[in-house]
C-alpha cells in the first residue's frame, strides 16, 4: 500500500468484519449485576452494569413489561387459592411446569447435527504454527444422556467432526545465509527468506471421536423453553486421509546441500525447503513443489483433535418425553451459528 505523503503509514479501505474475532459474526455475552425496580404491577426497570462482551458497561437500563401479571397462581411466593374456590380449569395445566416437565431425571438418547462450523482467521494463534483460512465443516453426534425434561442434563456422545473445506498456511524453515562461510548472519538481510507452505483438502477429512456434555440451566421462558449453557469436552482421531501440501518459494536452492538462496528456481529445476528443513524438488518450469501428506499435519496434536464446546442453548419441550435443543457459540476447533439436537427421555410419559 502506498505511503501517505510526509508520513510513515498507509491508508486503505477495508470491511468492518476485519475487526471481529469471528469474521462476519460477532458473539455477544453478558455477565452483569442487575437490580429490578417495580414501577407498577406489570412494569419494571432494570439497571445493570458489568461485563458486556465485546466490552464493559458502567450502567444500562432496560424497560420490561410483563403481561398477565394480575393472575393468581400456586407457585412459591404466590398467594394460595382462597378456601372454597373452584379448582383451576383443565386448560390451566399448561401454566404448571412441574406437570409438563417433572422435576426428575431420566435416561434418554440424543442425536444432533451442526450444518456448518468455521474457524475464524483471527484464531491463528490457537493453531500455531498454522494460520487457518477458510476452514469449514459439519458435525454429527449421537449418544446417551440423563437429565430433566427442562433442567440440568449430562451425557456422552459419539461425534463425527468433518472438515469439508480448509486452507492452512505456515512458514517454511528459517535459517541463516551461510554463503559467506561464517555461518552467522551479520545483518537482518542475511536471514534467508522462508518458503510459504499451504495445506488444502482433497477429500473431506472425517475425525470420529467422543465427548462429554453438560447442560446447565440459566433461565426459563414460559413452561416449555429452558435457556442454559452447553459445555462439552472430548477428543477425536484425525485419520490418515491424504491432503495436498504446496511449498512455494522463494527461496530456491540449486541442490539439496546448497545454502545459497536464489530468487528464482534454476531452469533445470531446483529445491525448496519445508518447515522441517527438508529439501523438496521443484520440477523444471514450476515455482512450487506439491506432494501428498497425511491430514494429521493440520492438527496441533497430530493424530488427536481436541473437542470443546461452550455455547448458549435453548431447550424447547415438544412433548413430555421429547425436546429440541438449539445452540450457538464456541465449538472448537471453530465456532457455530446454529446447531440442533433432538432428545428423547424415557419414562416421562407416565
Domains in the chain: boundaries: 1-68, 100-176+191-350
For residue 287, give the C-alpha cell.
515455482
CA 209, 307, 123, 294: dihedral to nearest 10 degrees?
Answer: -30
Task: Return d(Cα 217, Cα 228) in angstroms, integer.
Answer: 4
Task: Return d(Cα 154, Cα 146) in angstroms, integer.
Answer: 6
Contact at 8 Å (CB) between 243 and 205? yes
Give the pLDDT score at 95.
Answer: 43
Give the pLDDT score at 275.
Answer: 86
Task: Return d(Cα 201, Cα 197) in angstroms, integer.
Answer: 14
Segment 70-80, tens digit of pLDDT: 555 554 444 55
Q: Using only C-alpha atoms, what is the Rg of the chain?
A: 29
Contact at 8 Å (CB) between 30 and 53? yes
Tell which phi-psi region holds residue 152, choosing left (phi > 0), alpha (psi between -120 and 50) or beta. beta
pLDDT tens for the 350 residues of the chain, in order:
888 888 888 888 887 777 777 777 787 888 889 999 998 888 899 999 989 888 888 899 999 998 875 555 554 444 555 555 555 444 444 445 455 677 788 999 999 999 999 988 878 777 777 888 889 999 999 999 999 999 999 999 999 999 999 999 988 887 666 554 444 444 444 566 788 999 999 999 999 999 999 999 999 998 899 999 999 999 999 999 999 999 998 888 888 887 788 888 888 888 998 888 888 999 988 889 999 999 998 888 889 999 999 999 999 999 888 999 999 999 999 999 999 999 999 987 65
Segment 164-192, tens digit of pLDDT: 999 999 888 876 665 544 444 444 445 66
Cis amide bond preceding 162, omega within 30: no
Amino acid at each position: 500500500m502506498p505511503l501517505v505523503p510526509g508520513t510513515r503509514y498507509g491508508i486503505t479501505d477495508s470491511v468492518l468484519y476485519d475487526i471481529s474475532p469471528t469474521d462476519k459474526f460477532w458473539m455477544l455475552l453478558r455477565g452483569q449485576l442487575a437490580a429490578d425496580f417495580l414501577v407498577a404491577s406489570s412494569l419494571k426497570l432494570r439497571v445493570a452494569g458489568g461485563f458486556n462482551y465485546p466490552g464493559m458497561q458502567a450502567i444500562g437500563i432496560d424497560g420490561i413489561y410483563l403481561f398477565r401479571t394480575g393472575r393468581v397462581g400456586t407457585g412459591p411466593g404466590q398467594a394460595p387459592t382462597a378456601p372454597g374456590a373452584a379448582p383451576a380449569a383443565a386448560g390451566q395445566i399448561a401454566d404448571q411446569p412441574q406437570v409438563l416437565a417433572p422435576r426428575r431425571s431420566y435416561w434418554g438418547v440424543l442425536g444432533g447435527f451442526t450444518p456448518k462450523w468455521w474457524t475464524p482467521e483471527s484464531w491463528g494463534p490457537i493453531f500455531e504454527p498454522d494460520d487457518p483460512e477458510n476452514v469449514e465443516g459439519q458435525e454429527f453426534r449421537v449418544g446417551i444422556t440423563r437429565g430433566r425434561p427442562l433442567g440440568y442434563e449430562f451425557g456422552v456422545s459419539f461425534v463425527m467432526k468433518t472438515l469439508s473445506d480448509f486452507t492452512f498456511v505456515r512458514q517454511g524453515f528459517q535459517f541463516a545465509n551461510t554463503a559467506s562461510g561464517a555461518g552467522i548472519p551479520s545483518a537482518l538481510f542475511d536471514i534467508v527468506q522462508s518458503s510459504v507452505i499451504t495445506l488444502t483438502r482433497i477429500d473431506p477429512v472425517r475425525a470420529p471421536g467422543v465427548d462429554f456434555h453438560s447442560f446447565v440451566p440459566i433461565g426459563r421462558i414460559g413452561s416449555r423453553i429452558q435457556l442454559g449453557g452447553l459445555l462439552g469436552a472430548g477428543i477425536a482421531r484425525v485419520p490418515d486421509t491424504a491432503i495436498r501440501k504446496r511449498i512455494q518459494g522463494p527461496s530456491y536452492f540449486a541442490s539439496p546441500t546448497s545454502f545459497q538462496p536464489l530468487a528464482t528456481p534454476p531452469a533445470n529445476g531446483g529445491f525448496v525447503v519445508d518447515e522441517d528443513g527438508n529439501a523438496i524438488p521443484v520440477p523444471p518450469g514450476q515455482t512450487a513443489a506439491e506432494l501428498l501428506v497425511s491430514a494429521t499435519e493440520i492438527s496441533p496434536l497430530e493424530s488427536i483433535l481436541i473437542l470443546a464446546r461452550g455455547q448458549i442453548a435453548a431447550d424447547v419441550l415438544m412433548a413430555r418425553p421429547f425436546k429440541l435443543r438449539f445452540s450457538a457459540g464456541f465449538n472448537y476447533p471453530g465456532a457455530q451459528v446454529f446447531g440442533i439436537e433432538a432428545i428423547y427421555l424415557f419414562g416421562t410419559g407416565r
